[in-house]
Structure 1
Amino acid sequence: MSVTMQQMELILEKIAPVRFAEEWDNSGFNVNFHNREITGIMICLDVLPEIIEEAEKKGCNLLISHHPLLFRATKRIDSERYEGKCIRMLAERGISLYCAHTSMDSAPDGINTWLADQFHLTEREYIQDGVAEHFYEIAVHVPCEHADKVRRAMTAAGAGRLGEYEECTFNIYGEGTFRPNEYAHPYIGKTGEMETVKEVRISAICSESDTERVLRAVRAVHPYEVPAISVLRTEEPKTLQSGLGIVGDLPQRLPVREVLDRLKKILQTDSVRVAGDIEKSVARIGICGGAAGDFAEAARKKGAELFITGEIKHNEYAARSEIILAEAGHFDTEKCFCRIYEQGLQKCLDDVNYNIAIYVTNLRRPYVNY
């Protein structure tokens, strides 16, 4: 089955939705040749001329990278410089470029979750909360004899789900009054006469994504021409759909040296830079791939005794306060992107029976050596 770029974009949104990305970021399509059939996909960490050539040789016309090619505002395209050269090569070969940067950092199954999983962290919380799905209270007034039917319709459409509980509603009984005018077609009562009806106000919490479906279900079974429905957004509960960085508890308190040895093994790297007392032991750590040294203080406030990231600036080391910092390299903390994204994409393609070849480029070593 042929798959177009537009169809592929819908699939890519399931893995790391662009709405999860930071405002300053440029996740999503950097180069897009619309309506073309996908011939193959290559996944990489960075867009490089040799990777574009590799994609062409393997018959791929969609390149997916972690780091955007067009990151900051581009004022000119110079084919002799890095960005311009890559854009020219992509255009000449008809290769589209999609970037999953902070969208993949923040995704529930993204880079930081993978890093946290390697340490089996529990009691997790995001260092910086991302996109939150709010809940709404939907309330409707209905004649008592129709209450069960309306209540079942509401809960079947998704209302009344709180944690491990379902069909949670609150019911207030009272009397409703109304007077139909000459144009009305009342279910109960007569034109021009005041009517009093025994009614119940049924209310239930509903997630933002289910709200429209619940409202349609209520209107479909409600006996009144114009049912009285109110929708109010709640402050609690709310569900975090994404977030940057993770703080969590180790399975047991460990010496810092042991945590760092494990880190090197996980990342398959020879060295990490550390600031702080490495003779201590820690129970709670923070972790965030890439350049996240500015998250150290926020991680400390959430109880982290050790913060691991890929890149830390001089002033961030200087501002360190009662927390051990470990700098494991931008490349090494994010190279897991390629395999994680490949697995997520393959699952999505399998779910819709799309048969497209996916390649992961041979990972280069970091641009600097120690």
Structure 2
Amino acid sequence: MAKKSGAAVRFTLGDLSAAVDALAPFRLAYDWDNVGLQIGDPAASVTNVLIALEVDNDAIDAAVRVKAQAIVAHHPLIFRPLKNLREDSVSGALIARLVRGKIGLIAAHTNLDRVKEGTNGALAAAMDLQDTEILEPLPLHDDLKFVVFVPPENSLSVIDAIHRGGGAMIGNYSHCTFRSTGSGTFIPGEGADPTIGVPGKLEQTPEDRLEAVVPEHCIRAVLEKVRDVHPYETMGYDIIRLFDAEPSYGLGLIGRLPVAMKLEALAQALHKACDADATSIVGRASTRVRRIAVVSGSAGGSLAGLSPARCDAVVTGELGYHMAAEARDRGLNVVLLGHAASEKIFAPHFARQLGNKLADAPGGGPKLHTHTRYRDPAQTVAVRSATKTSRRK
């Protein structure tokens, strides 16, 4: 929420973090990752933002030039818990520069890899891929479906109990359930103290089936609240994990080129579009490809789920030697752009999305700048073969 300063309304670092979270939810990051607001005061005013692949001295210099109070970086600067903050270390010196310069830092790493318009969306846009779908969907919600069976006269109290436990919310609506009526059958056993029926006799009684969505972290509280009001000695219920039939989140994309082209031509076009240092291919250069899988950075973990039947080629940043050999032996065509080249083009792509998101912010939000001047640490060396010549004496 933008903060008021006198009559003016300020856009803050916290507002920027919330906007990034809305576009690429931080909860989507892998457990080993570290994303979100890493450096800075959430209440600090922000009028200029630099979007960059990672934080190095060149990126900080660029931020200083544009008077940025915040950097949104793809690669986290603070990745593991800090045991100390020493300026004789590379990361320590960079952190100190940001703190002294009062430049906040927000990291959007694997959460940005798992949204359709993130890093992979930028690479897909460079190829004008069409009909794109998530390559590796995240099939599970963090929500559960809670189903409970209750006498009709107790349904409203149970619905309220589900709500008080933290369930039955959909958007801005509470007490959201589906209710259907049927018949429940049971025979109370010896020693039972049934609300309805007698031990040893088959009982058939009207019951409502109530269904509600419950966040996973609330399910224990919901069970406790419902048990408090449920009339049965033994409450019948189901807990169902939800799957998304049309997943919105996941790693990578797959789609079609507007027209088929040779693998070599695709590699050359991407080399130019991504300003790559060196681009290589796995497969025959003359092979015509159209259905393309995209995994920015490194596609090593995604290779097992890909086959020539599923895609004509994979576009990524890098593969280890053994992964590349496996791709070749399995008949997979691959374009390798280099890790930085496959990801740095996200900056202008993400800047457009963030600009649209902040269009209604006070004053149109902060001014967005991009920094894309990155090179892979390993540089290609052009080696000329020596030609032996002989002289006559």
Normalising by structure 2, we get a TM-score of 0.68
Q: 1:234 aligns with which of 220, 235, 240?
A: 240
Q: Does 1:334 align with 2:343?
A: yes
Instruction: Check conservation: 1:49, 1:86, Cα contact below 8 A.
Output: yes
Counterpart-to-counterpart distance in 1, 2:308 and 2:289 = 15
The one-letter amino acid paired with 1:21 is A
**SS of residue in 2 equivalent to 1:344:** helix
**SS of residue in 2 equivalent to 1:316:** helix
Counterpart-to-counterpart distance in 2, 1:48 and 1:31 = 15
RMSD: 4.5
Shift of 1:89: 0.9
**SS of residue in 2 equivalent to 1:310:** strand
Q: Does 1:357 align with 2:366?
A: yes
Shift of 1:253: 5.2
Q: CA separation of 1:75/1:291 partners in 2, compared to 1, >3 Å: closer, same or farther?
A: farther
Counterpart-to-counterpart distance in 2, 1:140 and 1:247 = 43
Counterpart-to-counterpart distance in 2, 1:238 and 1:58 = 42
Shift of 1:279: 2.5
- 1:263 maps to which residue? 270
Q: 1:172 aligns with which of 182, 191, 196?
A: 182
Instruction: Check conservation: 1:245, 1:289, Cα contact below 8 A.
Output: yes
Counterpart-to-counterpart distance in 2, 1:317 and 1:340 = 29
Partner deviation per Cα, 1:343-370 (whole Å, 9 max, x = no partner): 2322332345464323323421524467
Q: 1:46 aligns with which of 54, 59, 68?
A: 54
Show structure 2 runs of 5+ residues with no match. Answer: 1-8, 172-176, 187-202, 383-393
**SS of residue in 2 equivalent to 1:332:** helix
- 1:325 maps to which residue? 334
Partner deviation per Cα, 1:106-156 (whole Å, 9 max, x = no partner): 123211133335443437342364763444144464649x99xx9xxx9x9
Higher-Rg structure is 2
Query: Could you tell which deviates more after superposition, 259-268 or 33-42?
Result: 259-268
Normalising by structure 1, we get a TM-score of 0.72
Q: CA separation of 1:365/1:54 partners in 2, compared to 1, >3 Å: closer, same or farther?
A: closer
- 2:389 maps to which residue? none
**SS of residue in 2 equivalent to 1:350:** coil
Q: CA separation of 1:262/1:168 partners in 2, compared to 1, >3 Å: closer, same or farther?
A: farther
**SS of residue in 1 equivalent to 2:298:** coil
- 2:13 maps to which residue? 5
Shift of 1:19: 1.5
Instruction: Check conservation: 2:134, 2:249, Cα contact below 8 A.
Output: no
Q: What is the count of residue pairs matched by the alignment?
A: 340
Shift of 1:62: 1.5
Shift of 1:334: 1.0
- 1:189 maps to which residue? none
Q: Does 1:120 align with 2:129?
A: yes
Q: Does 1:280 align with 2:290?
A: no
Partner deviation per Cα, 1:208-232 (whole Å, 9 max, x = no partner): 59x99xx9xxx9xxxxx76889764
Counterpart-to-counterpart distance in 2, 1:96 and 1:233 = 43
Show structure 1 runs of 5+ residues with no match. Answer: 160-166, 177-195, 220-224
**SS of residue in 2 equivalent to 1:361:** strand
Shift of 1:335: 1.8
